[in-house]
Amino acid sequence: MSFKLSPRIEEILKTGEDFVGISKDDALLLMHLDLHSKAVYALMATANRMSRLQFANKGEKHLHIGLNVEPCPKNCRFCSLTRKAGVFHEKYEFSEEAIVNWARQGEALGTDGINLMTTGTYAFQRLLEIGRLLSGAVSVPLVANTRDISHKEGEALLDAGFKGFYHAVRLGEGIDTPFSVQRRIQTIQVLRDVGLLWMNCVEPVGPEHRPEEIVDLMILARRYGAAYSGVMRRINFPGSPMQKHGMISELEMARMISVSRLVMGDIPRAHCTHEPNSVALMAGANLFFPEVGSNPRDGCPDTGKGRGRTMEACVAMLTEMDWDPDRPSNCFAPGLPSCSEPP
């Protein structure tokens, strides 16, 4: 049976495949496509072709190391590492020996980057110490994932060996979190100003989030030139206050990943998803995060013994979907493209 896309959808996909980005209205139209329609699979195929061409079929894997566990007083409603969640009751920092061992194991298995995540009250000077320690122990690029920072702190991260900074304006920011959208965007501008690569994801997506607010964050990622972006769904830990909303499926996340890929155009060096899954690798994603240490979606202190995926599992999944995990990383290569100045 022959199949023909509507002229409007065909036009949007063609625009996307030209790597010029698509408008908010076009992205919203794609977000509303029936999840099991042929048009959605055409969208996913377009995003897949774009990523394989732009990223030279590279499958990225960036090791996440959560440095500490604590009942964090910031109390973001989707996070298991908070006081109100009641999952963890004591502060705990993983030892330098454990962190170095994880980093060296990741390097031996070919990780393309190491993301160091902290809770909201983790001492910034301690993060700098860990950065300097790992810079001397491994040759893998380091990415910080911590609280909002100033220009002075951004420069200190660079001096400590960090190449990038993961930071997101979260869905529900200021409602499900105590942080303002404007303060989060100020930190993104700090990263641009000091020369740290901005790593991003549209997250944590749940069924309660409207397509308009999801697409707005996709467009923000393009406007401010994220080195990578993508989509992460919210994972509801046992007892989460967000359990009442449920969770989106991996297939629904794949549709969003594809829309995000068309929005991003020629800006990114990779396109991420979390948690790792095969369907995303057919929808424009090429970047996975193996995980050890703390994890805001887990009730286990070391997610490497909980829900975190191993480096070996991520490499196997990438390989099965015909992505090449052994090619050099695109994320930290010189000459990272940038978009026009944000308003």
What's the CATH code of the domain at 113? 3.20.20.70
The span from the CA of 78 to the CA of 204, in Å, is 8
Task: Tell me, yes or no, whether 228 lies in a domain.
Answer: yes
Task: Tell me, yes or no, whether 338 lies in a domain.
Answer: no
Where would I find the beta strands (DSSP E) of 141-296?
142-145, 162-166, 197-199, 202-205, 228-233, 270-274, 287-288, 291-293
Q: Which residue has the tokens 């009730």?
A: 299
Q: What is the pLDDT of residue 340?
A: 39
Question: Comparing C-alpha atoms, which of 100, 98, 96 is closest to residue 108?
Answer: 100
Q: What is the pLDDT of residue 307?
A: 96
Q: What is the pLDDT of residue 2?
A: 60
Average pLDDT, the chain: 96
Q: What is the pLDDT of residue 219?
A: 98
Look up the pTM and report it. Answer: 0.95
The span from the CA of 335 to the CA of 316, in Å, is 30
321-337 tens-digit pLDDT = 999 999 999 999 886 54
Q: What is the pLDDT of residue 335?
A: 66
Task: Tell me, yes or no, whether 31 lies in a domain.
Answer: yes
Helices 38-54 and 250-264: crossing angle, nearest 10°? 50
Task: Tell me, yes or no, whether 48 lies in a domain.
Answer: yes
Task: Tell me, yes or no, whether 326 lies in a domain.
Answer: no
Q: What is the pLDDT of residue 268?
A: 97
Number of domains in the chain: 1
Task: Tell me, yes or no, whether 336 lies in a domain.
Answer: no
Q: What is the pLDDT of residue 342?
A: 45
Task: Tell me, yes or no, whether 246 lies in a domain.
Answer: yes
Question: Comparing C-alpha atoms, which of 165, 156, 160, 114 is closest to residue 138?
Answer: 114
Helices 7-17 and 38-54: crossing angle, nearest 10°? 10
Task: Tell me, yes or no, whether 97 lies in a domain.
Answer: yes
Q: What is the pLDDT of residue 3?
A: 76
C-alpha 26: how far from its chain's center? 23
103-136 tens-digit pLDDT = 999 999 999 999 999 999 999 999 999 999 999 9
Q: What is the pLDDT of residue 186?
A: 98
Residues of the chain with pLDDT under 70: 1-2, 335-343
What range defines the domain where residue 93 resides? 12-320
28-74 tens-digit pLDDT = 999 999 999 999 999 999 999 999 999 999 999 999 999 999 999 99
